[in-house]
Every structure is written in structure tokens, then in C-alpha cells.
Structure 1
């Protein structure tokens, strides 16, 4: 039953890619009505006759992908309405869409700041992903990667506003690694945060931290997480200046006055404004 549901999702993905609904797809397939297509979209398993009909109507559609989930959705060398094909990465629970080139290699989708509001709603929809720019970055050409433009100052001085982080997909919260930076996608926002505490499988909340000392930790319920992406690298137009000797000298003076550096940092954290996404 699970395989049937996955095949049904692939059919839905193909129709979305072609800009078709059940009625228009049925017309292209030569069906008298749309009842058969509705059954397929609701979890029905496509039979041999259906595969032949699909192949005749859409010769560019890869049946290996449709039936087995193997390879790109669009056959290499076949003409398509879009310069990009789509592929599904099938996981234990979810089916994730990625874009691929004409050789079946995955591209890296860039989600800029203006598109992030829409990403929280349509992050796994074919039409949305096809409208985003795609790139190939040396060193990130084998695997599932996604790039996000950073908004805000919560991760300064490590990562700055409008930097671009290159990320890889993480499937479960328990796989989050302490000390690493992640992009968290929820129904309301896209957030860039650091993990400092070990996350267990039964944890209902994750505490997210900013590198900016003026930002407070942010608690998020695990049930609200739709996607998690681990930062593997970033692209920045910001060039750091020479080490700030003045700041270190200021800390020395504070300690000479008898104040504890840790206490000062804690007071700054307690008086910091509420944290904000990215």
C-alpha cells in the first residue's frame, strides 16, 4: 500500500510539472471521463495498460521513475516544456522534490529572501521549485543540497545578512549535531540557528541558539518542523577586518575592575531582545 501511495504521489508530481489537473490529463490520455485519474491520484496503483497510455501521451516521462522512483523524472535528451526536470527523493516518510539537469544530476536550488515566505508553504511543490534559480557549485555536486539567502543579524558575526548558506538535508531531529548550524523550515518561517544541546528522539522541543550575543535562545516544537538543512558552507561578500584588539582590551579592563566575563555575557543575554527568524 505504501508503494502505491508513492506512485500516486509521483503521478501528482508529473501532472503539476505539466500544469495539468485530473480533467485535462484525462483528456490528453483519451479517457472518456476523469474517474480513472482521480482513482490514481487517490492512491490507486497504475497497471500495465496505464503505463502504456502514459508513455504514449508523454514520451518524455521516465517510466523507471514513475514505477520505481529510479533516475530523473524526465528522460535525458527528450524535449520538455522546462529546461529543468524534476526528481523525487523517496524517504521513509516523505517524498522530496529536487531539480535535475538533462543528465540526471541534481541541481542546487537557491531560495532568496523574497521567496522564503512562499517556501514555507510550497517548499515541495513542482511549480514553485521550477521558478527558483538553480546552480551547480564545485564540491557540492553529489547529494541533495539547497541554498538559502540569510536575512537578519541573528548569526553575526559568523554569518551575515544576505550571505548564502549551502545546506544538506537532515531527516530527523535526533540526527542534529551539537555545535552545527542548521536551517529550520516551519509553516511560518525559515530560520538559521545553531544547535548546542543533544536532541533525543522523544524531545518535543528544540532550543535554537544565535551566534549574536544580543539574541536570546529560541524554543521550537519539533512538530512544527517541516524541513531541516545542515549548513555545509556559505558564500559571503563580507570580508572580515583585522582582529579587533579594542574589544579584547575592553574585556581585560572589565576583568581588572573585578567583574566576571561570564557574568557580563549572561546579563547581556538576559537583557537581549527576543530572537527572530534568520
Structure 2
């Protein structure tokens, strides 16, 4: 399995654009998959520079309905005229906001008018696309939940803004040649909760690699989750002793190093241009 980070907040190459967002291109032995599309066209520009032909992508998956993961959907639909984009219905129908320093909410959802919804495949439950490709949603919330979620809001039908429960979030599990890889966007549901849900639903005893953001950093206040809370997540992730973690985007600059010092296996950090062969 070959994985290329098309977009992240940082970059490994000055010729590649960085932006607050996330996008991965995944090539397995049988298909190519785009997981998230960043905030705009930058992921596509980077793909061209990296020699990734997005027009041949078989499937696209959107992790949740925030602009930094799905803002590039219109660009992808222009490049690729066949691939469906799999997402929860809430990702495109929901209205999502973030509370900023002045406590004024700012819209952070998708530009739905720019998206060809006829090419979106909406799911309301787990979906097994094949023996090696499963999409999971509706995660347990019994463990660590990022405290930054309290500033992320969902608009109700009456217009009132309430804390988002992230029912529109999903994860992608790929299993190839005995190696399992779980992709998440921001793990708003809590990375430990998401792993436990995937293991329970699929009947698997182990996931080899987990790749995605952990949402441990508030980029408005520039504050990382306190150490006492990071320790809770460390305990949850450490309980999966054979799992290797790769993170970036909303995890922030400080949490990976702190957590790595507490874990048997260090947490790896990815950036725009990172390539992995798993």
C-alpha cells in the first residue's frame, strides 16, 4: 500500500503548498483512493507536482463536513468525472461553525452549492465496499474526547448553535496483504474511541497502522490539550501495543513529542509530501 500526503499544514518541499487541512492519496493493489481534499485546490496542485493522477482515482472519501477536509471537492469533481465521493449525509447537509476569540461563530462547513451532489454517495451506517475496504461511522464516545470540540458547533433547524456531536464523522479501514491501516480526518470522536469502535464492529483484534489528525491543538488560541488530558489519550493508544501511529494537521506541534516520550513506540509526524509504503 502506497500512501502520499497531498496536503497538510506543513510541507516537506518548498515547491509543495501547505495549508490548514488534510488530503491523502492511497494506492492499493486493486484501486486508488482519495481520502479528504483539503480546503481548496492546493491538494490537486500538489498531486500534479508529485506525479499523482487524480483523474484515475477510483473512490474518494470525506472524513467529515468541515471545509479544511472537503473544500477541495469541487476541484476534484472537475478533475475526475467518474469517482463517487463517499460521505455521511450530515457532512453535506449540516451547517457547522467554530467559535473564535471574540466568541463570534464563523462558518466552517462545506460550500454545498459548488458540489455536484449527484456524484456523492451518502452512508448512514458502516459500509463494506469489499473485503479489504470498510468505512465506519457512529463511534463510541466513552473515552477521551478532544476538549477543542466545545468550540465546534452545529446549527439546528431552529437556527440555534449547539456543540457538534460529530455524527457526520467517518473513518476508512484498508486491509491489504494482512496489513491493516485506519485513516481518520481529525478524530473528533476521540482516536481511542474510534479504534475501539472499528475493532468491535469488524471483529478484528488489532490494527497495524493509524493515520490521521488527533485534534489536540486549538489553532485560534494556539493552546495544546493539557498534559493531564494527553496522558489519558496516551493510555488509550498504548493499550494497542502493536499499533504504529502517524499524525499531523490538527494534532498540533507539541503533542506528538510529549506523547511519544510516554509511549513505547513513538508517534510519527507526516506533512505535505510525506510518502509511506506499508
TM-score, normalized by length of structure 1?
0.25
The structure that has the greater radius of gyration is 1
**1 or 2, which has the higher helix percentage?**
1
TM-score, normalized by length of structure 2?
0.25
- Which structure has the higher relative contact order (CA within 8 Å, separation 6+)? 2
**1 or 2, which has the higher strand percentage?**
2
